[in-house]
């Protein structure tokens, strides 16, 4: 990329607080440094505008990054996440940090990390009724009337376990710090290729989360479900489920690329924002 100005596409929900002003500030900053191809909403962009783009700059929280990453994964355009939300695991840069390190990014010296994605499809009576990519997770939620549901879990066609619970999460390493973490699942390095299967409030003291290989294929069969039982993709897309439906989850062929902040790692973010591995508050003498 050396010797030419990078071509950028900006994704932003300017209806949210501070997003419009942050986009304006960045756009003014990159004048003469980069070409902004388009400024659009991820829900309405035209995939053809990605041709020839070097980076996608996404302004918002992790939810905005996740929406953009699903749309951008096939294009192999790296995502630069600018955090205007609450946590910022994927949106790694503040506006000021992006300005500070933009020359490094524009010259192609920034570290770009490849993240594994999942593909999910729902089969009913032998026919596909739903399919989607997932950045964080695929999870099944019990739904109304909130009785426990029963699921049969298979990994690579072998029965793994029956699960009577409020649902089930299948998470990527990226999503291991999201719903999976809050439900008691392990934290994985974002660089890994693996999946975490985590039950939600299982009716068992011995059903603990399990990590399986990234090349494994998981099938979940709805043995007994509720009227409102559904499968959700990253908490953004959903499909209602009926008894007998089969939810297939495997590694997506494509992946998404994220530009890393050179001064902050995944572990720094966890320690600073979630208090991970924080020492006890000892009484001072």
Same domain, 130 and 226: yes
Is residue 59 assigned to a domain? yes
- In the structure, what pLDDT confidence band is assigned to residue 216 with cuts at 50, 70 and 90? very high
Same domain, 87 and 162: no
Q: How far apart are CA 241 and CA 237, in angstroms?
A: 13
* φ and ψ of 70, to 5 deg: -60, -40
Q: Who wins on pLDDT, 285 or 153?
A: 153
pLDDT in tens, 169-184: 999 999 999 999 999 9
Same domain, 89 and 106: yes
Total number of domains constituting the chain: 2
pLDDT in tens, 65-107: 898 888 888 888 999 999 886 666 788 898 999 999 999 999 8
Percentage of the chain surpassing pLDDT 70? Answer: 96
pLDDT of 137 reads 98
Same domain, 166 and 217: yes
Q: Who wins on pLDDT, 64 or 142?
A: 142
Residues 6+ apart with CB under 8 A from 131: 119, 120, 121, 122
Same domain, 168 and 187: yes
Same domain, 150 and 104: no
Q: Look at residue 2 and tell me whether its pLDDT is greater than 60.
A: no
pTM, to two decimals: 0.90
pLDDT of 285 reads 61
The arithmetic mean of pLDDT across residues 236-247, rounded, is 98
The CATH number given to whatever domain includes residue 42 is: 3.40.50.10330
Is residue 244 assigned to a domain? yes
Chain Cα centroid distance, residue 153: 23
Its domain, for residue 14, covers 7-115+255-274
Same domain, 70 and 29: yes
Give the Å distances, CA to CA, from 119 to 13, 23, 253: 26, 32, 8
The catalytic residue positions are 62
Same domain, 62 and 101: yes
Residues 6+ apart with CB under 8 A from 48: none
- Is 207 in contact with 163 (CB distance < 8 Å)? yes
Chain Cα centroid distance, residue 186: 16
Structure tokens at 156: 């690579």
Helix or strand or coil: residue 271? helix
pLDDT in tens, 105-163: 998 888 999 999 999 999 999 999 999 999 999 999 999 999 999 999 999 999 999 99
Same domain, 207 and 268: no
pLDDT of 263 reads 81
Q: Look at residue 19 and tell me whether its pLDDT is greater than 80.
A: yes
pLDDT of 87 reads 65
Same domain, 136 and 211: yes
Structure tokens at 29: 């900053």
The CATH number given to whatever domain includes residue 153 is: 2.60.200.30
Is residue 284 assigned to a domain? no
Is residue 29 assigned to a domain? yes
Give the Å distances, CA to CA, from 71 to 9, 19, 36, 46, 113: 13, 20, 19, 10, 17
């Amino acid at each position: 990329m050396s010797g030419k100005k990078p071509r950028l596409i900006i994704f932003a929900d300017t209806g949210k607080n501070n997003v419009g002003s942050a986009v304006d500030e960045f756009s003014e900053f990159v004048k003469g440094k980069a070409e902004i191809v388009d400024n659009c909403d991820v829900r309405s962009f035209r995939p053809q505008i990605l041709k020839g783009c070097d980076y996608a700059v996404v302004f918002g929280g992790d939810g905005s990054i996740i929406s953009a990453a699903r749309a951008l994964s096939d294009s192999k355009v790296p995502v630069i996440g600018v955090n205007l939300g609450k946590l910022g695991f994927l949106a790694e840069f503040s506006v000021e940090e992006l300005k500070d390190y933009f020359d490094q990014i524009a010259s192609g010296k920034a570290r770009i990390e490849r993240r594994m994605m999942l593909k999910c499809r729902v089969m009913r009576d032998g026919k596909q009724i739903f399919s989607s990519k997932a950045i964080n997770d695929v999870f099944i939620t019990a739904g109304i009337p909130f009785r426990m549901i029963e699921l049969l879990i298979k990994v690579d066609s072998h029965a793994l376990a029956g699960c009577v619970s409020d649902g089930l999460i299948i998470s990527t390493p990226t999503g291991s710090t999201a719903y999976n973490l809050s439900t008691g699942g392990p934290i994985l390095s974002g660089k890994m290729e693996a999946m975490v299967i985590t039950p939600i409030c299982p009716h068992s003291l011995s059903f603990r989360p399990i990590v399986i290989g990234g090349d494994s294929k998981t099938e979940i069969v709805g043995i007994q479900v509720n009227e409102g039982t559904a499968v959700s993709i990253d908490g953004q897309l959903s499909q209602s489920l009926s008894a007998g439906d089969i939810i297939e989850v495997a590694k997506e062929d494509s992946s998404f690329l994220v530009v890393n902040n050179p001064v902050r790692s995944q572990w720094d973010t966890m320690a600073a924002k979630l208090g991970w591995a924080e020492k006890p508050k000892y009484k001072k003498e």
